[in-house]
Structure 1
Amino acid sequence: MDNVERYSRQILFSGIGEEGQLKLLKSRVAIVGVGALGTICANHLVRSGIGYIRLIDRDVVDLSNLQRQSLFNEEDVRLNLPKAVAAKKRLNNINSTVTVDAVITDLNLDNAEELLAGVDVIVDGTDNFMTRYLINDVSIKYGIPWVHGAAVSSRGMFAVINPGVTPCYRCLFPQVPAGRGETCDTIGVLSPITDIVGSFQAVETIKLLIGAAANSNLEQIDVWDTSLFSMDISDGKNPQCPTCVHHQFDFLDRLSGIQESYSSLCGRDTVQIYFRENRERDLKLLGERLKQNGKVTGNQFLLRFSPDKDTSIVVFKDGRVLIHGTNDIVKAKSLYSKYIGN
């Protein structure tokens, strides 16, 4: 094996050894979302010698990212670099023997299978439920394990989803949550919780790649209250799960009526986001949450939120959203995820 010295301390660890390291060098991982969790996990995996890592992200580096997204710096902000590109540059300087593939795109039902089907493990570095259900569909359809992670405020969680071994994500969360829109941009986040969750995701990814036993719990952590909670999900499989039991991949199917739909409204500099299923929102609760991020007005039918002078987000009671100030669907999705969430 080349570069024995580089990985010598990892090889000395009995859980990995030389055989495990050889497996890592031949492994392929996709990280969906190169934000706080994604950068932490990518950093560990590149240093660990994963042979190939695909970074998938739609956003550019913003000044507010630097508080917790460890691979970025002020120059990346000044150059307005896409996150995937900036991360690849930094990771290549850490370990030039790892192939890092930067993909600047929004993961959706049109490209998810192409981007994810050829890897050994998928890592969830996203900030929204819909993408996780999409990852879960690809995972079950192609038999690829994935490592879920989430962090907001001082709280975080992670779990391993391994087809045929564990319950799938849809077993654990049968319905797409509605009206639970806490995001880092609306209630904040502490960098230590993203470091902790991302590090655990990296460890679970390594376990999956070398064939070691992965964690069978949904782990929840609060760094502010110093609390830990483990929920055993090993018996959580739903015998009627549409995804892992009936192989009904609704989030990859345009006709299923579940996905968010995005359309640019001709001549109006506006993107409309709506759900094929009715998802009623509590506009009063949403308005209270958004007040600290911008101007909020509204009535019994709709809420209008303006985070800046160029952008206006209108949310209707049935869940439909109009984002004024852009006709770029990818930018609109980012704004929706940032402020409204799922």
Structure 2
Amino acid sequence: MTDRYSRQTRFRPIGQAGQDELTKKHVLLIGMGALGTASAEQLVRAGIGKLTIVDRDYVEWSNLQRQHLYTEDDAAQHVPKAIAAERRLNAINQEVEIIAHVTDVTRYELPQLIPGVDLILDATDHFDIRMLINDVAAQHKIPWIYGGCVGSYGMTYTVLPDETPCLHCLLEHLPRGQATCETAGVIGPAIQLVAAYQVAEALKLLVGATDALRQELLAFDVWTNEQSRINVASLKKASCPSCGENRTYPYLTHMPVQFTTLCGRDAVQVRGDEARDLERLEQNLSPVVSIVAKNPYLLSFKTETHRFVAFRDGRVLIHGEQELVRAKQLYHAFFG
């Protein structure tokens, strides 16, 4: 196995010295969907020292089209994505330490994941989580790489605390409230390209080649063959509440949303404490509902109109519902 990274070390900007640096680095990757699985595999094959992966969801059949670390068996058994990815990544490279967390990312969880991390990679599909990452990264001075994808369109940007504009600085210039994966779908090539750009920037940071970093926001459409590179250096704001002179880190102090509709899913996520005891929950519900699946991480049951998935961290997904008011009624009906 001595030649495992030989083709990578022959690339002069990395070399053996860079490879040695990679083995010492710890990357936190948030979101193990399409972007996350693509980036995680590349980082693990490249031989980083430690990878922490975080995801709140479980594998479904619709994931298999683009989330290539997962199998049909994972979908059939409703395996949490972080656990399924951990198994696959360990099978790819046992030299890399993989730490998996099946949890949502809020202002409570994220700071606990930060100690010892050299880089944060964004593979989420919610701007609220990205803004939370942005605040935590600015507070702890950890570089992070934003990535987004919908349809055939992708975008990525590297944030260096105290050097570049942060995501909050750019927020009014980013496309929000436009198409989502639910309305426009997404294709694999766009995802792979975003991941490739993200991991390339990650490798530069991890081996210390900061002079090679892209200083621009990159956007592209693989279907229409369009690409744009935007110099955003002038957008850094001294008044920015996340990275400016009088920082308040607003997303670290903002109360998390408890009821959230999920992108690309006919579902609502509820965050609470009532569903943590899955064993007691199964005893209470089994006489009145049909238990669909259960494992150490989740319990799934269905009614005539909806399917529920309760996670041990207290989250509940209500499938077949998009109205928040109705979702609240259903949640309180089954969980108190």
* TM-score when normalising by structure 2: 0.77
Equivalent position to 2:305, from 290, 309, 318: 309
Equivalent position to 1:190, from 158, 162, 187: 187
**Shift, 1:181, TM fit:** 5.5
1:90 corresponding residue in structure 2: 88
Contact 2:259 2:270 in 1 (8 A): yes
Contact 1:92 1:100 in 2 (8 A): yes
Contact 2:132 2:251 in 1 (8 A): yes
**Shift, 1:271, TM fit:** 7.5
1:136 corresponding residue in structure 2: 134
Q: Does residue 43 in structure 1 map to residue 41 in structure 2?
A: yes
Within 1, Cα distance between the matches of 2:132 and 2:220? Answer: 25
Within 2, Cα distance between the matches of 1:322 and 1:216? Answer: 45
Within 2, Cα distance between the matches of 1:260 and 1:175? Answer: 24
| 3-state SS in 2 of match to 1:192 | helix
**Shift, 1:247, TM fit:** 2.0
**Shift, 1:239, TM fit:** 1.9
Distance 1:271-1:36 versus aligned 2 partners, 3 A rule: closer
Distance 1:146-1:322 versus aligned 2 partners, 3 A rule: farther
Within 2, Cα distance between the matches of 1:184 and 1:271? Answer: 17
Percentage of identical aligned residues: 39
**Letter aligned with residue 312 of structure 1:** E
Within 2, Cα distance between the matches of 1:117 and 1:156? Answer: 30
Unaligned residue ranges in structure 1 (runs of 5+):
265-269, 274-307, 316-320, 329-342
Within 1, Cα distance between the matches of 2:123 and 2:328? Answer: 27
Contact 1:271 1:324 in 2 (8 A): no
The one-character-per-residue Cα deviations of 1:58-82 (angstroms, maximum 9, x if unpaired) are: 0000100111111111111012110
**Shift, 1:325, TM fit:** 7.2
**Letter aligned with residue 257 of structure 2:** S
Contact 1:23 1:210 in 2 (8 A): yes
Distance 1:325-1:92 versus aligned 2 partners, 3 A rule: farther
Distance 1:108-1:152 versus aligned 2 partners, 3 A rule: same
Alignment of 1:1-342 (within 5 A): 3-173=1-171, 180=177, 182-212=179-209, 213=211, 214-245=213-244, 246-254=246-254, 259-262=255-258, 309-310=305-306, 311-314=320-323, 322-323=326-327, 327=331
The one-character-per-residue Cα deviations of 1:14-39 (angstroms, maximum 9, x if unpaired) are: 11011110110000000000000000
Within 2, Cα distance between the matches of 1:322 and 1:158? Answer: 36
Within 2, Cα distance between the matches of 1:22 and 1:239? Answer: 38
Contact 2:37 2:69 in 1 (8 A): yes
The one-character-per-residue Cα deviations of 1:104-123 (angstroms, maximum 9, x if unpaired) are: 00000111111124300000
**Shift, 1:182, TM fit:** 2.9
User: Which sits farther off after the overlay, 232-241 or 125-134?
Assistant: 232-241
**Letter aligned with residue 193 of structure 1:** A
Within 2, Cα distance between the matches of 1:263 and 1:197? Answer: 29
The one-character-per-residue Cα deviations of 1:171-194 (angstroms, maximum 9, x if unpaired) are: 11159987x163212220011100
* TM-score when normalising by structure 1: 0.76
**Letter aligned with residue 185 of structure 2:** G
- List structure 1 segments (4+ residues) > 2 angstroms apart after TM superposition: 174-178, 270-273, 311-315, 321-328
TM-align CA RMSD? 2.3
Within 2, Cα distance between the matches of 1:37 and 1:325? Answer: 34
Contact 1:136 1:170 in 2 (8 A): yes
Contact 1:312 1:325 in 2 (8 A): no
